[in-house]
Amino acid sequence: MFRKTIKIAENERALVFQNQKLTQVLMPGLHKVWDMKDDVEFEVFDIDELYFSQKNGERLYQGSASLKEHIQHEKLQDTEVGMLYLDGMLRGVVAPGERLFMWKDAGDIRLDRIDIADTPLVEDKTLYLINKAGVNLATRLIRSESTVAVKPVAVATVKNSHVGLLYIDGKLSEKLSPGTYGYWQFNREFQLKSYDTRTQILEVSGQEIMTKDRVSLRINLTANIRILDAETAANSVDDVEQYAYKLLQLALREAIGTKALDDLLLDKLYVGETVKELVAENLKAVGVELGNVGMKDIILPGEIKAILNQVVEAQKAAEANVIKRREETAATRSLHNTAKVMENNPTLMRLKELEALEKVADKISNLNVYGGLEGLMQGVVKMT
């Protein structure tokens, strides 16, 4: 009646309170405690959970020598981050300024302290250990007063052929080459802007533009751009590609709007050269180089295309007629020159007669001759 019995498991510890005052810590086993005034209470803890999280834990720890024998206490400075290990395995990241009360019998406890006052950069070795342990830093952050999930490490990855600009609390901190970086972001805000330094193709497609002679065209333009100075680009414009697109679009409208359709069709390089001249300096001012600019397509309205086809057809027909007349004139002139030569040369005339006779004879299968050879030569060959 005056004794209370309690059984403590191997992974448990029990605090004995008498009249709400901590009197002893019970180890595993069967215990009987005298309770003459019915004012003894027990509070059992599972040490596998590692942390001693009693509501008045700090006060109990400071006021009880017996509890200190079982609890390991750690206090971090406001400029320190802790890497908490249990039996050699990373248990979590301890936030700056935190107090930890842990059961010593839970295992081999080690807390590595890292000073983050001078630099927020996470060393490669530490970042490797965090990744290797597979610690979900959003949920394994050890922070007693945290009400929301906070990631203590901000991971910044810069891809190959890119350049990164790291901003801390809104200010440019450093320029990053390709690689993976980690930063302690307690009481800091990090932002990474990454820029591709390779040549990029920018398409300005489907632009409906009216020419000087009021013909509506649809133009597709292609341009090459490359970021030369990422810092200048970041400080000048919010979106490099969008800025370049707008400049090219406006320049294209200006180039098309000041030329007639016939002029554009005759000089196809005019549009690319004009657009580049109008845009290159503006892009250079924001750290971007403009390469080749070219017009991919000119799409004409249906009725204009039909009219142009008729014009081309008429032009080609006229050219064919001119060629035909020129060849006929040349042939007539050749016959005239031949006739003049034959007029003054009987032998040549006779050869032409025989040549004509040979051509006629090739098409004759039977020939009846009257009057002998003399008649043949006089009546057939001789021409008067």
pLDDT tens for 219-266 read 889 999 999 999 999 999 999 999 999 999 999 999 888 888 878 878
> What is the pTM for the complete model shown?
0.65
Per-residue model confidence (pLDDT) at position 373: 58
**Is 50 exceeded by the pLDDT of residue 155?**
yes
- pLDDT number for residue 138: 46
Report whether pLDDT(54) > 50. yes
In a domain? residue 349: yes
Q: Is residue 215 located within the same domain as residue 280?
A: yes
C-beta of residue 44 within 8 angstroms of C-beta of residue 12: yes
The stretch 60-79 carries a mean pLDDT of 90
Can you tell me the distance from the alpha carbon of 352 to that of 342, in angstroms, rounded to the nearest whole number? Answer: 9
- With a pLDDT cut of 90, the percent of the chain lying above it is 34
Q: What is the CATH number of the domain that holds 259?
A: 3.30.479.30
Residues 178 and 220 in one domain: no
Any domain includes 27: no
Mean pLDDT score, 34-39: 82
Range of the domain at 234: 200-300
| Of 276, 300, 324, the domain-final residue | 300
Identify the pLDDT of residue 147: 44
Give me the number of domains the chain comprises: 3
pLDDT of amino acid 195: 94
90 and 184 assigned to the same domain: yes
Q: What is the mean pLDDT of residues 146-167?
A: 81
User: Would you say residue 148 has pLDDT above 60?
Assistant: no
Residues 47, 11 contacting (CB under 8 angstroms) = yes
Neighbours of 349 (CB within 10 A): 15
Domain end: 145, 168, 194, which one? 194
Q: What pLDDT is attached to residue 119?
A: 83
CB atoms within 10 A of CB 102: 23
Question: Where does the chain have alpha helices with state H?
Answer: 57-63, 65-68, 124-133, 230-236, 240-257, 261-266, 269-284, 302-343, 346-361, 372-376
20 token code pair: 């709400």
pLDDT of residue 310: 65
Q: Are residues 105 and 189 in the same domain?
A: yes
How confident is the model at residue 289, as a pLDDT? Answer: 95
**C-beta of residue 117 within 8 angstroms of C-beta of residue 187:** no
Shared-domain flag, residues 271 and 368:
no
Whether the CB-CB separation of 71 and 103 falls below 8 Å is answered with yes
Query: Is the model's pLDDT at 92 over the cut of 50?
Result: yes
- Whether residue 44 is contained in a domain is answered as no
pLDDT digits (tens, 9 = 90+) for 197-232: 999 999 988 788 888 877 778 888 999 999 999 999
- Judge whether residue 188 has pLDDT over 50: yes
On whether residue 253 sits in a domain, the answer given is: yes
Residue 299 to residues 202, 216, 312, Cα–Cα distance (Å) = 19, 9, 17
Rounded Cα gap, residues 322 and 301, in angstroms:
32
CB atoms within 10 A of CB 52: 24
Q: Does 324 or 360 have the greater pLDDT score? A: 324
66 located within any domain = yes
**pLDDT reported for residue 301:** 63
Euclidean distance between CA atoms 17 and 25, whole angstroms: 9
Domain boundary among 174, 194, 214: 194
Q: What is the mean pLDDT of residues 112-133?
A: 85
pLDDT-derived band of residue 71, with 50, 70 and 90 as boundaries?
A: very high
* Percent above pLDDT 70 for the chain: 86
- Closest alpha carbon to 229 in 168, 166, 289: 289
- Confidence at residue 369, expressed as pLDDT on a 0 to 100 scale: 60
Q: Between 177 and 210, name the one with better pLDDT.
A: 177
**Is the pLDDT confidence value at 347 over 90?**
no
